[in-house]
Amino acid sequence: MSPHLQPTGTASHPKAGQPMSGAEIIVQVLADEGVDVIFGYSGGAILPTYDAVFVHNKDPKRSPMPLIVPANEQGAGFMAAGYARASGRVGVCIVTSGPGATNTITPVRDSMADSVPMVVICGQVPTGAIGTDAFQEAPVSALMGSVAKHVFLVTDPARLEATVRTAFEIARTGRPGPVVIDVPKDVQNWTGPFAGEGVLPLPGYRTRLRQLAARRLADADLAAFYAMLGQAERPLIYAGGGVIHGEAAAELRAFAGALGIPVVTTLMGIGAVDTTAAQSMRMLGMHGAAFANYAVDDCDFLVAVGARFDDRVAGDPQRFARKARHIAHIDIDASEINKVKRVDWSHVGEMREALSRLAAYAKTTGFARDWSPWHAHCAELKRTYAMNYDRDSALIQPYYVIEEINRLTNGEAIIATGVGQHQMWAAQYFDFREPRLWLTSGSMGTMGFGLPAAIGAQFANPKRLVIDIDGDASIRMNLGDLETVTTYDLPVKVVVLNNFGDGMVKQWQKLFFKGRLSASDKSLHKKDFVKAAQADGFPWVQRLERKEDVARVIADFVAFKGPAFLEVLIDPDAGVYPMVGPGQAYEDMITGDFIPSRSKVATRPPGASEMF
């Protein structure tokens, strides 16, 4: 074995010692990693690997890895991400060099921002041609290095096998993320012995992982936490996407349930607790429920779990959780502690272990508090400041459409979204009884995410109902993947809430730019979504235009067994409320005309340094 490699410690591989091409080695490692589907688009520099996938899938003795071909490489990346988000397993995307690689930059950055495990394998021009501006050459390492968790350029064929295996290790461990492997064509064509074991030496990374795994909450840490909790009259858990990625939803539910602490979640933490449970205060933040945001304002002890106090949640960090006497923070990433908001107690380590230790300590010590007045207060907040809209309008309201779908799916469907108003309406009005049912682009806010992510999720969960809730502007970004749905006969359901434009941008323009709809009004566009879906082979396609037809049509749509496409012409002036302006606190929250507010708030334009 090369001195640059180290064994995995596994039993001898049945194919160890067999001669294989680099491409065959890539495919064999994918099979060994349990990959059951690949998303990608072919091209010259990746042809050897695509041929190896073809041969693998034709061998009846091997478990197949279907190769799913989208409309473009961005769709492939988002499909792999949707697969990973819905399953918790590493998604795999294989693309060619040059534009194939550059088209995957957005899904790679999107996955990095939302901590999604993915391995992207890019073809590259032959080693000797790198740096010559050869046909379809792109500097993948330079481009991806700033947006991925890690990037490998394989120039030594003897290290290819270990590199691929190591990429999976990095993608799934610690704080998950995307790993990119750039493989020159001559490395794919090289032939050498398959070792069947071995990973690259990563002493620093693996040391940190071992340290994380070894970190346990000491009795002194637990006593300090419970000393603060014992003083609290209004404790609240603020749960983020780290709970989902850390597979810690069960432990969070057990901890919160045993102690009787209400829970708010971020956009990425939706599903960490059952949204129908009494303890759930649903989503907080810029477009969170008013009652969730008021609960944050009212709490006196905030426990942040797998959350990062980002600007969509803590627009004004100084005034976030302003009445909290103490704040605790648990995360796997030390860089998140005190990054935005100073905390009084913190623990860096694996989420499941930390939550289990906290729950066990309470049981062992007999810790118990009567927080019934706080529970009553939270229940009253939910009643008084409940989500609401104009239910008497003659126009179809998007909230009503989602409520009807939710009534039929009962919080058990996988919901993917694009980005914009429809994304926030879905987060606000859908129920989610389990984790990994909610798939959306959070930190990057990438339009066009919803449809390919739904396709990836359907491959990850073939028996689940998967619905893409999209907007007319967002779905245009990857509209070509309607054909991908029907090509593979996937029972994906697609809803387009059509308000003839970039709805969220229009809402901001109406609020902050005196109604000047610069580049956001698409009412003169001639796209016929129904004809587009029919042309792409959807067997069930309808346009919904009358409010009185909503319940009947949606029932038919959800019940249909195959691919279904529904366009709904919604009230073009429907807005997303509540809304907390950029850089503002929850006391500045705008609740609209149908949700009560604690105080009358004047709309203030964002400052020059404040974000969209």
Active site residues: 73, 135-136, 185, 504
By the 10 Å C-beta count (0-12 exposed, 13-18 middle, 19+ buried), 333 is classed as: middle
In sequence order, what are the beta bridge partners of 124? 184
CB atoms inside a 10 Å sphere around CB 516 = 9
| The two structure tokens encoding residue 171 | 């993608």
Question: 295 phi and psi, to 5 degrees?
Answer: -65, -40
In angstroms, rounded to a whole number, what is the distance separating the alpha carbons of residues 21 and 313? Answer: 50
Can you list the alpha helix ranges (DSSP code H) found in 410-559?
Answer: 421-429, 450-460, 472-476, 482-487, 503-512, 529-535, 550-559
Q: Contact 301/325 with Cβ under 8 angstroms?
A: yes
| H helix and E strand count, the chain | 23, 20
Nearest to 321 by CA among 292, 340, 338, 298: 298
Distance of CA 80 to the CA centre of its chain: 11
Distance between CA atoms of 256 and 411, rounded to whole angstroms? 20
Residue 34: count of CB within 10 angstroms of its CB: 11
Query: Which amino acid belongs to residue 150?
Result: H
Helices (H), 215-370: 219-231, 241-245, 249-259, 290-298, 351-365
How many C-beta atoms surround the C-beta of residue 395 within 10 A? 16
280 has which bridge partners? 263
| 100: enclosing H helix or E strand | helix 99-102
**Among 522, 500, 507, 505, residue whose Cα is nearest residue 567:** 500
